[in-house]
Structure 1
Amino acid sequence: LLAMPVVSAWVMPMGILGVIALPFGFDAVFWQLMGYGLDWMIAVALWVAGLPGAVGRIHAFGIGPLLVVTVGLLLVCLLRSPLRWSGVGLALVAALWAWNAPRPDVFVASDGRAMAVRGSDGRFAVANTGRDTFTIKEWLAADGDGRTPKDASLAANVTCDEAGCMAKLKDGRLVALANSAAAFAEDCTRAAVIVSARDKPAQCDARLIDRLLLRQAGAIALIGEGNGFDVIRSRPIGVERPWSGARQIVQAEATTPTRPTSRDATPRVDDLEIGD
């Protein structure tokens, strides 16, 4: 209502006059006048974008709600009978489905150097021992969180030392990010989940997300299910994507050097010369 009248009555006419005057070299004034109208449009857009509630966020949801709302929109747009209003019901069902979609409690980066843990306040706390801020930005966007990767509140529920980091889930269980092999000894006895870019130890009571699993599964999300977790892999088992196939871990078998075969060094009779 504030921008479109200016576009119709000012911006477009000035553009047309500028094109007409272009061959005669008198077009500059019309482009300048057109620019004033564009400045008004930009000012209106920035003002609206700054209003409370101008930006809305929703957490990520599966393809199911998207398909349902698509069918609903098709019914509303294509049908001409009263049956078309059934599409509105489908759209409402899709909205409720999307709003109540399960949200991960833990995100793990594919390199094992960053994790996000949902705390008692319902928001993520992030432990990042690397420099990957893009992944953290995507995690926050997928959760409908407007914070930036450098927001100080992301570290509010995380304690770190040289061995690694520890964060607490909303139910009180601990999630550890182990930076060294020595950290496993303590973390295995108190953490419910351990994330590490290293190989897992032979024995550990916690759920381990180690280098081998991350190479096969890629980034991982965990959703709390009772005392355990439902694991969501970015590379599902049995699914081979052309652009991101599951990497196979092949360990070469150790080979022992073979001893050279002994040979008889006695010269043949035909090779002997006089005096030998």
Structure 2
Amino acid sequence: MRGQRMAEQGRTPGRTQGYAGTWPPRQAAQAGGFAPAGFSVWPSFIAKLREWIAAEAGAGRLLPWVPIAFGVGIAFYFAAEHEPVAPVAAVAAIGLCVAAFLLRRQKLFPFAVMVAATAAGFATATWKTKLIGHGVLARPMYAVSLSGFVETRDIRERTDRFVLRVTQMESPRGQTKLERVRLSVRKGTAPAVGSFVELKARLQPPLAPMRPGSYDFGRDIFFQGIGASGFVTGSIKTLEPPLSGGLSLRYAALMQGLRDAIDARIRTALDGDKRAIATALLTGRRDAITTPVNDAMFISGLGHVLSISGYHVVLCFSSIQEASLSTVFMGFSEKARDGFGR
């Protein structure tokens, strides 16, 4: 018995005492063989994840996820290898929305709502593309005669740019018809918004992404209804329009007139960089901002404020912050008054 006990413990007469055993210890190993030390964490993590999902699918918490699923459907549309069939996408989205409504009292209702919202986003992007579909220039064109209405005008640092709604297009080498083109001209020579002009231009197809996965300029201007870009090669003639430009063109001309009036008023009241920044914040014109000020704004992270949208975001955030601070201070004042009153 003594020899057997010594053999089990690895003890040999005349040698140092040792111990022989298996690794890992039997108490740490799970039934069925060896398992990683952190493997037991996964069941608790999965249970916690299910608890979170159940909480997010609770009453009043499902709605914020609907626009996210809608955006995922739009992303699926842009990731598609070919153009989907619009009627099929619409019928599928309607069917899934009806199914989600019928399952409103079932446990699958949250999942059905997410699937229906994704299908709705996919169908919306498909029909949006179909509704604004227009001609796009495939190869460069030279000496193109264009006539139409000026819809927008963008005054830039070195050149001006405007969008022309084409009513007539003639080219000696092609029969391509475009609805809108974006043209660049020398600074200070862009025609007024709402005017009817006639000109000659050199047109280029929309720019493709510079590298795979980068920003797609062509897709951006496609959804703006623009089929080509280029520059004016001759003089611009302003003519009497043969037809009315419509209510939207009148509205654009009115708004551009207001911007020009605001810009003229600022130029008479301020000067230097103050005038340039005020004009950029109120009208969106950034051509007068000097390079040092422009670089300082972007380096400090305030470059987005120079755009109209960024300015509106700052105003909205400032209003919310001021309202929040006012509420806090009012509550603190009431508590302090009650304390002093005692």
The interval holding the TM-score normalised by the smaller chain is under 0.3
Q: Which has the larger radius of gyration?
A: 2
